[in-house]
Amino acid sequence: MSLLDCQRASITAYQLRSHIIEGRCTASPRKDGTMEKAHYDEKANRFILDLEKEDYLNLDGIIDRYADKPGYLIPALKDAQGRFGFLPKEVQNYLARGLRISPSHIYGVVTFYAFFTTVPRGQHVIRCCMGTACYVRGAADIVKAMEHQLSIKVGETTKDLKYSLEVVRCLGACGLAPVIFIDDDVYGSLKPSQVGTIFENY
């Protein structure tokens, strides 16, 4: 059994079940086929969502539910992200027309609040702890190694929608520092040289 397998097996009972981290909720990949409509467009240099008739009907329902109500925008965006997993330009622009507000206003709200994302979550979500214990034991180097291995930056998703990379303040596993989660799997006492080996499991 490899060192990584030993590290992983020793803590399999400790799993991250909630999507609430630091009091912030992160979007999850949709399980109903919605994310299959998302793809990376090289020309546009962003992820695009191919909306279908059913999707427009869902957006119309959100618009009807919140139009002209006080404080409507945040709940409307929350419902839309819950439906599609993220808020690409296609969704933002449709909501802007239906709610009779400017697309730039919606974009400003979406990019201001950490809850919202314009990038879809990948099949596997990697969360790298940057708490004090992890940081002093080289977490920043782990993050750099992850970015290099995946060819993305923190907060981004690989173009094939397989991995998303995030950092969090603390995962509550300080004795294993530096530690990362990939979905519900925990990897502790990591070294940058081990990062490439981890992805053999996925």
- Predicted confidence at residue 37, as pLDDT, reads 86
- Predicted confidence at residue 201, as pLDDT, reads 86
For residue 176, what are its two tokens? 């294993």
pLDDT digits (tens, 9 = 90+) for 59-78: 999 999 999 888 899 999 99
Average pLDDT over residues 118-142: 95
Query: How large is the angle between the packed helices 53-66 and 73-84, nearest 10 degrees?
Result: 160
Average pLDDT over residues 182-189: 94
pLDDT digits (tens, 9 = 90+) for 14-70: 333 333 233 333 444 444 455 678 999 999 999 999 999 999 999 999 999 999 888
Contacts of 69 (CB under 8 A, 6+ apart): none
pLDDT digits (tens, 9 = 90+) for 110-129: 999 988 999 999 999 999 99
- Domain ranges, ordered by start, for the chain: 3-24+121-201, 34-112
- Predicted confidence at residue 60, as pLDDT, reads 97
**Residue of 2 and 165 predicted with greater confidence:** 165
Residue with tokens 């808020």: 87
Contacts of 186 (CB under 8 A, 6+ apart): 8, 11, 12, 14, 15, 16, 173, 176, 179, 180
Query: What is the rounded CA–CA span in Å between residue 54 and residue 74?
Result: 22
Residue with tokens 């994302």: 117
* Contact indicator for 92, 107 with CB cutoff of 8 Å: yes
In 3-state terms, the chain is what percent helix, strand and coil (to 5)? 45, 15, 40
The distance of Cα 118 from the centroid of its chain, to the nearest Å, equals 10
- What is the residue-averaged pLDDT of the chain? 85
Judge if pTM exceeds 0.75: no
Q: How many CB atoms lie within 10 A of CB 172?
A: 12
Helix H or strand E segment including 143: helix 139-150
Q: Name the amino acid, one letter, at 144.
A: K
* CATH classification (class only), 3-24+121-201: alpha beta
Burial grade of 80 (CB within 10 A; 0-12, 13-18, 19 or more): buried
